[in-house]
Amino acid sequence: MRSFHFDRKLIFFLLAIVLLDLSAAAQQQERPDYSTLFDKTDVMIAARDGLKLHTEIYSPKAATEPLPMIFERTPYGLSDDEKGYSRKLSRYAEMIPEGYIFVFQDIRGRYGSEGKFVMQRPIRDPNNPKSIDEGTDTYDSIDWLVKNVPHNNGRVGLLGISYGGWLTVMGMLEPHPALKAVSEQASPADMFLGDDFHHNGAFRLSYGFEYSTMMETDKTNFSFQFDRFDTYEWYLQLGALSNANKKYIHGTLPTWNDFVSHPNYDAFWKRQAMPYILTRPKVPNLNVAGWWDQEDFYGPVKIYEILEKEDPDHLNYLVAGPWNHGGWAHGAGNSLGLIPFGSDTSLYFRRNIEAPWFSYWLKNKGSLPLKEALLFQTGSDIWVQFDSWPPRETKTKNLYFREDGKLSFDAPTTESTEAFDSYISDPAHPVPYRHRPIDMTYPEDHPGSWFTWLVQDQRFVDNRPDVLTWQTDELKEDVTLAGQVTAKLFASTTGSDADWIVKLIDVYPEKYPEKWQLSGYELMIADEVFRGRFRNSFEKPEAISPGVVTPFRIDLHTANHVFKKGHRVMVQVESTWFPVIDRNPQKFVPNIFEAQESDYQKATQRIYRSKRFPSNVEIAVLPSAAAAN
């Protein structure tokens, strides 16, 4: 397989899409023979430091005029088929008829390119003209392409998903003059606060371990060999995080070493975080996000938000749809897991948004397919245009935790400071984050459930004594959430550190004739984890005073969802989410990556719900008239 440069991560993602969307697969035509449509040129493009980057160029055989180039850079390989043509071409099925030259490139140190791979290579020193980064590699490649590829029109569009999205952002920091449009899709924005490796300082254990071993064990993708199918068991038996290096890694993975050396939000994390490197947009950019992106939902929304602060030329746009990570790029997108969307949302994006976007900027054809922000509204299953995101006309409402598991828009009235709900959090018996068995993130022989865990029915934790639940009565009218979701907890712990996981859930009616499998379904709409030691500062963690009621503010990010009449709104709170999040020892230690087995201890957690300590989830709500538009 490796002789064809297969991308294992991409292949199994595509397999998951096919198996999860059988109706769309049945409708798809047989994949065309791209060797009849394109002439392929395989080149090694020299960067400014002399290192050469493996690049494949696909020029349409039937071209009658100079064409723009679509450029995608990747660390995952070009995935050539049996004829040597990249399977990446199928990603652009809706754009190929428009006429483009497609260019795919292995980044420095991966697959066919020379050099050493560095995870999210730091931004270069602008005072050193010889310094390099992914942005200069992009610039140098575009410079070569426009000068050497026959029959190009001098315009280039750059795009990519996930790591490719991050590479796209790097390419727009110091853009080549020929770069006329980009589309950042699911790029990470901050690896400590909200994306792949950490969320609010809490380490994403299974993803961090499996991704770093995949990327840094070999120049091509590598899969760590687990000795059991249920990785929940494997990670639990791993024990303390310090055992990862001791038993398996032995200091060989640079990224894992960085995790251990930088447990707090220091200069290492900030130098790659978008708030510290992004300025006003210099190139038109289409930011793309998926509401149920299991890897990088935080990133594209944060990048849009940062660029929106100074965008006098209106170059910054946002699209968000009901997708998992990269789900807009393949298949029909008419469902995710058991959740139907009533239309082919992914196909709609590719045909009606992405293709016209690049045609407008690279060919001067048509008009822009959106004004500012185009977001799919889950629950009602319609696309909605917004002049800004979040909308300006929203009002905030609070969903308060009340007695007897009730959730209410009415604030608690009890004066008693002893009004609370509690549970015992035991690191030896953590709450699974998805249905068990929990298979590896990117399995070799089946699609896996990683791709759809964010839409799994949350009833699988309903009877756990270490999960608290509050829910409203049946809604008498629709509630349209449009914008920010924030959890405001008043909590105490008998430990000196704690994690808080908060989930905002749409509970379907017990009788749901539209699709019986969704009867009583508990669908997560927003969710997040917060590591308590960072409540005052992500740079300087502090122990929690045991037994003291302490406020915690948790950003659950943004959503565009209608809780429909007859549904209920639910909030769940827990302290473990394993193994996607590592277990907090619940005893404050300077560095959890160096914690020992004896540091992990049980703790009693209390969530308060009194007039003085009104724990709640604050949501941005659109008025009925605005929601109808």
**pLDDT tens digits, residue range 306-365?**
999 999 999 999 999 999 999 999 999 999 999 999 999 999 999 999 999 999 999 999
- Residue 564: predicted pLDDT: 98
The pLDDT tens digits of the residues spanning 203-235 come to 999 999 999 999 998 888 888 999 999 999 999
Distances (CA, A) of 14 to 8, 219, 285: 10, 22, 26
The pLDDT tens digits of the residues spanning 510-535 come to 999 999 999 999 999 999 999 999 99
- φ/ψ of residue 10, rounded to 5: -65, -45
User: Structure tokens of 551?
Assistant: 């406020």
The DSSP call for residue 423 is E
Residue 4 has pLDDT above 50, yes or no: no
Amino acid symbol at 345: T
pLDDT band at 443 (very low <50, low <70, confident <90, very high): confident
Sheet holding 373-377, edge to edge: 38-46, 52-60, 101-106, 67-74, 152-161, 179-185, 285-290, 316-321, 373-377, 382-386
Distances (CA, A) of 211 to 6, 222, 260, 442, 488: 17, 9, 16, 9, 32
As a whole number, mean pLDDT of residues 164-185 equals 98
As a whole number, mean pLDDT of residues 34-38 equals 95
As a whole number, mean pLDDT of residues 441-465 equals 92
Let me know if 30 is exposed, middle or buried by CB neighbors in 10 A (0-12, 13-18, 19+). Answer: exposed
As a whole number, mean pLDDT of residues 15-40 equals 62
Let me know if 119 is exposed, middle or buried by CB neighbors in 10 A (0-12, 13-18, 19+). Answer: middle
From the options 3.40.720.10, 3.40.50.1820, 3.40.50.720, 3.90.850.10, give the CATH code of 2-192+272-386: 3.40.50.1820
Report the alpha-carbon distance of residue 78 to residue 184 in Å, rounded: 19
Residue 14 has pLDDT above 80, yes or no: no
Residue with more model confidence, 299 or 81: 299
As a whole number, mean pLDDT of residues 20-45 equals 73
Helix segments in 174-217, DSSP class H: 205-216
pLDDT band at 176 (very low <50, low <70, confident <90, very high): very high
State the pairing for strand pair 420-425/603-608. antiparallel
Amino acid symbol at 247: K
Residue 628 has pLDDT above 60, yes or no: no
The pLDDT tens digits of the residues spanning 107-157 come to 999 999 999 999 999 999 988 988 999 999 999 999 999 999 999 999 999
In three-state secondary structure terms, 8 is helix
What is the residue-wise DSSP string for 573-603? EES--BTTSPPP-SS--S-GGG--GGG---E
User: Structure tokens of 202?
Assistant: 């809490």
- Residue 28: predicted pLDDT: 43
CA angle 552, 483, 371 (to 5 degrees): 150
Question: What share of the chain in percent tops pLDDT 90?
Answer: 88
Least reliable range by pLDDT among 17-21, 29-33, 181-185: 17-21
Q: Identify the architecture of domain 395-431+466-628 in CATH.
A: Sandwich (2.60)
**Would you say 425 and 576 are in contact if contact means Cβ atoms under 8 Å apart?**
yes
- Residue 626: predicted pLDDT: 55
Residue with more model confidence, 24 or 169: 169
- Residue 30: predicted pLDDT: 67
The DSSP call for residue 351 is I
Question: What pTM value is reported for the model?
Answer: 0.94
The DSSP call for residue 76 is S
Report the alpha-carbon distance of residue 427 to residue 595 in Å, rounded: 13
- φ/ψ of residue 108, rounded to 5: -50, 125
> Which residue from 137, 201, 146 is spatially nearest to 178, judged by alpha carbons?
146
Token pair 């397989």 in the structure block, residue: 1
Residue 13 has pLDDT above 50, yes or no: no
**Would you say 384 and 480 are in contact if contact means Cβ atoms under 8 Å apart?**
no
pLDDT band at 11 (very low <50, low <70, confident <90, very high): very low
pLDDT band at 439 (very low <50, low <70, confident <90, very high): very high
Domain boundaries, the chain: 2-192+272-386, 395-431+466-628
Distances (CA, A) of 133 to 50, 130, 226: 13, 10, 34
Report the alpha-carbon distance of residue 213 to residue 221 in Å, rounded: 9
Report the alpha-carbon distance of residue 43 to residue 566 in Å, rounded: 60
